[in-house]
Structure 1
Amino acid sequence: WVTVTARNAVGLGTTVSVPLLLPDVRAPTPTPLWFEAPRSAPAVRAASGAAVATDAVADGVGPSNHVVAADEASIDVAWEPFEDDGVGVDAAGVLVALIDALGQPVATLTGADSAVSVAGGRATFDVSSLPTRVPLWATVEVADDVDNDVSVTSRAALVVDDTAPEIGGDGVVREGTISPLAAELDCLPRSGVTVPSITDEGVDDAAPVIGGAASVAAALAGGTNATTVVAATWPPFVDADSGIASVEVALGSSPGADDIVPFSVVAGAVNRAVLVAPARKEGAVVYVGVRATNGVGAVSAATWGDGVRMLCGAGDGACVYDGVFLCTAAR
């Protein structure tokens, strides 16, 4: 404030005070900061094959990262507009950076760059210039016109994913069982198998039943000579960067073919399923294949079992029964 006092010859005076300067000592108000990108898919517990909630902290799995595919063109960092009750934000001096776990910047933009809109609260980074499979956090540094500054960092990181999921464990698809502890089978009855007889193997969660609607309905109704029922289990798929979005299973007449039951999504992304198809001929060999899709849409290579041979028994009029059937490895 400036105060002026004037007095006359007899000592009478008048004082006037007017505001001249308001010192600005407060930085702009911090606001939330985030990536405009989807979160990673839920992680999968290796022990049970069950999905873990995205933000659960269990089995070493914490809040998920944001993810983007390596072939995407760009990624946006967004924030609410900064406010300053003093002299206002220095837009040209805004610094937006992506930093690694050590706090080292790997990409930076300023408010003067065309890729940054300070008023709109957005900065666009070129994905091709970013490292892959490395967590990156966004930071925004803002100052007002008298250099009071504030820095904000995103809570979740961003990961650029350039890989597809991989099957875990020993990578073996076990046909003929939904229990990961049971031995796989080389031969199965070609028909007459009930779905409950498979799903009651002591596994915590029931295995999804997959196949054509008519075949599934018949198999669920009870054992029937019209359907072939094949159970399978496999190690959970893993993707450390963007998680597992979905798992698919198929049944084919040869490895690589899904001509009997096409690849279908396994509910809950569990690591087991019961496949149902029209009854196969005696002696036919069928193969179970599995594949997974990660959080950015990359699909793994399919992994196939070594095959299971269809056998028939007395009373099955669809095959010739001679009283001797040998179960041999499908290899």
Structure 2
Amino acid sequence: MNTRKLGSFECSPIGLGCMSLSHAYGTPPSEKAAEQILLQALDLGYSMLDTAALYGFGNNETLLGKVLKGRRNEFVLASKCGMFKNDAGVREINGRPEVITKTCEDSLRRLQTDVIDLYYLHRWDRNVLIEDSVGALSDLVAAGKIREIGLSEVSADTLRKAHKVHPIAAVQTEYSLWTRNPEIAILAACRELGASFVAFSPLARAFLTGKLKDVSVLEAKDIRRGMPRFSPENYAQNLQLLDQVEKVAKAENMTLTQLSLAWLLAQGDNIIPIPGTTNLDHLKENISAVECSLSAEASAQLDQLINQQTVVGHRYNPATQAEIDTEEFC
């Protein structure tokens, strides 16, 4: 398998987003099932795993530490600070330097490792200068606690400010056929500064797999229920887009999943999608996309079929949108 650059590391072109093993999409899998996913991922060639202090309120990091401590040298470990469960049991965005330092120590303990390879600021805390938060992360690099610094859900302007304090190895933001906001400015900024771009939700939270046909089956605590694109009315309209996309996939001899990931990989050699899954078959299907080659004609067709003008609904509700710093299409 070819590799892609991630800061000073080389990793598989597709990484594994670990959030769904502990968090977000309804009832997570059992610990045994989650362990199978993690171990099989390494066996299949995934060599970048992405977690965060927020996921499962620490449980996801604990899971990775327990299951993978004996295979720590086989993958690039990415985690995130700046958004977590505070002592009052409430999700908090906090980028103060002393909080970042404490969160990192907590993550190292849960992950059962001495160093985190890539450590993101999960959200920019607007009450703290980005330069101050990145300065704290830079101190962690100097202390040998982390190796590379990343940012999540930031604008190109914020990235440039941060990069003046310390080189930013990667930016992580949602990017897929149906979420094209990174094309406004952040992709170009990453190329300009030599940063990798890590695309989360590259399969549009299952929409682009074609396997989620009815949003009414989603559990009450599934985060998609609060996302405008997944409202019954909007989702019904969005599903109509898949009919033509499926025809492109068939013509390219790919599944919808392979097509969607191959499209992303073709957008730049600094892009690393990190689909998550709780299903072993899907795990294999996702990584198989690295062997798929998308024709220029198919890519042009996809750009016309599904984009910011044809998708119905915002990606986040107003409260969540207010927490992030990325450029958004109106």
TM range (shorter): under 0.3
- TM-score normalized with structure 2 length: 0.20
The structure that is strand-richer by fraction is 1
The structure that is helix-richer by fraction is 2
When Rg is computed on C-alpha atoms for both structures, the one with the higher figure is 1
* Higher-RCO chain (CA-CA 8 Å, sequence separation at least 6): 2
- TM-score normalized with structure 1 length: 0.20
